[in-house]
Structure 1
């Protein structure tokens, strides 16, 4: 087991998957988080209020928004090379068409609930106009905003998320260790019938004497209880005892959003190839992409900072790792996505939401007995 405290617990002390002796392949970065990629920052706004019967517009509220900055604030308007892959497109990721067209995006990524995706996008533009007006005064912006559904626990039709909450998440974005579980956009999310939400992990990839980082962040909200797998163990049959099953939601098919970041130099088509490996990490945990799933993934590289915005009239150049050497980075994507999903499940507690709907946490006692 690792002795790095950041690998074992979140900043608030919630246990992560490695805390229970669950072993993973590969070498994580110092924080085992997407923020191990230099310059990447994450922030949250979490909204939890009210109990009891649903009153639309009043609550109960179990939602939020996550903000991911691909570059430091001063350099945020500088595009990053990127690629998108939709395994099953029953969902939304704004800005996807321009990423497909140009192989790049700028501005932050936000992730929230299904009915607040537009607010999150618009709030990002308002925030950019406030903190980096020059980035918009001479042009326009198409921020990336993604969503998953939290209506089992949250008053999703009450539209409680505001532009101010989006600004709060963006203003609070920071590097270093980050919280996981029921925070930010993941506040009301469910995976395999257990409380889930926000999760992250990272891997160090050695390439010809250089060390690069691959990081993943997921908003996890998918899967049926019977399919859950933890490091090859088909755990579903062990997790259907009445004490666990009682009061849990009906089997939801849900969605997952994944953001992959790296400082390795890759071109847009290579970033798309990395994004296409995310489903393999999801499958390691027992997910396989339902008809009603919004399984949408974006990958970006912070390298080649000047290439995506080269001036006209001159030949531009970009560094890139050859396709023949890309396999270890594929492996890192799979490893980080798998661990990020499990971290979202483990760093969590039971939650009761609208109409008394109850979602249990993955049982900690069972984890200790099984993996400890």
Structure 2
């Protein structure tokens, strides 16, 4: 996940990395990496093409499990949401199903929304936050976007994963995102369950576990709640930023928030 003008390079860089680290995977097959983007041209010199193949390789080589850094990191560095500094955010939920516990996590690159619509915990607070204001040394184009990735270890079939992805906009709407014109919204969902299903040998019946549709609602709850929290985390885990041409984006005032919400 990167900025708009680096999308092709990161896709190609991933293939270069695979040919170095996993050459056997491409010996008699092909790779189709998924690269996605949101626009950061207000803060970033986007036409400078500063992301390189080395950056892609470094990100993949250093990828680890554990806590995810939030805020102005990676592809989220130059992003803005509701007129405040935003970027990368994540959240997760544990869903109990019968005797099993499953994790559902959400990652967002938040770059959308008008300040007047910002809503936190059901309270539309945007109109109270006229200040601190952005400073525009160059005109700011209205280009709002968000990417959300939903990941779970719960077993679902592809059509069920699509249903999970389609609940992402509900979480966005809770924060005050209305999907305005020019907003590029991309939502993907995947499961790590059933790892052998796609590799079943020829001539034998393949099997895949899945939770029945009638029990999917708690996972819908987890998606909606996770998206809302991830967006707010992307805002809270941030500081003021001055970018290209002196363009300035303030951080969401945390002291003010603490006074309002405790």
The two structures have a TM-score, normalised by structure 2, of: 0.97
- The aligned runs of 1:122-141 (5 Å cut-off) are 122-141=12-31
SS in 1 for 2:107: strand
The two structures have a TM-score, normalised by structure 1, of: 0.68
Q: Does 1:338 find its partner at 2:228?
A: yes
Structure 2 equivalent of residue 351 of structure 1: 241
Structure 1 equivalent of residue 92 of structure 2: 202
**Aligned mates of 1:143, 1:119 — CA distance in 2:** 11
* CA shift for structure 1 position 312: 2.2
- CA offsets 1:107-166 (integer angstroms, 9 cap, x no match): xxxx00001000010000111111111111121000011000000000101111011101
For the Cα contact (< 8 Å) 1:193–1:252, is it kept in 2?
Answer: no
* CA shift for structure 1 position 313: 2.2
For the Cα contact (< 8 Å) 1:258–1:297, is it kept in 2?
Answer: yes
Q: Name which of 138, 144, 156 aligns with 1:254.
A: 144
What root-mean-square deviation, in Å, do the aligned CA atoms of Structure 1 and Structure 2 show?
A: 1.2
Q: Does 1:215 find its partner at 2:215?
A: no
Q: Does 1:287 find its partner at 2:177?
A: yes
**Aligned mates of 1:297, 1:148 — CA distance in 2:** 12
- The aligned runs of 1:1-372 (5 Å cut-off) are 111-241=1-131, 244-245=132-133, 247=135, 250=140, 252-372=142-262
**Aligned mates of 2:238, 2:205 — CA distance in 1:** 51
**Aligned mates of 2:165, 2:115 — CA distance in 1:** 26
* CA shift for structure 1 position 364: 1.4
Pair 1:246–1:166, CA change in 2 (3 A): closer
- CA offsets 1:179-203 (integer angstroms, 9 cap, x no match): 1000000000000000000000000
**Aligned mates of 1:292, 1:306 — CA distance in 2:** 40
**Aligned mates of 2:97, 2:143 — CA distance in 1:** 38
**Aligned mates of 2:141, 2:18 — CA distance in 1:** 39
Structure 2 equivalent of residue 47 of structure 1: none
For the Cα contact (< 8 Å) 1:258–1:298, is it kept in 2?
Answer: yes
**Aligned mates of 2:102, 2:177 — CA distance in 1:** 28
* CA shift for structure 1 position 246: 5.3
Unaligned runs of 5+ in 2: none
- CA offsets 1:234-266 (integer angstroms, 9 cap, x no match): 01111013xx12526857341000000000000
SS in 2 for 1:145: coil
Report how many residues are paired: 260
Runs of 4+ displaced beyond 6 Å: none
* CA shift for structure 1 position 309: 2.0
Structure 2 equivalent of residue 17 of structure 1: none
SS in 1 for 2:24: helix
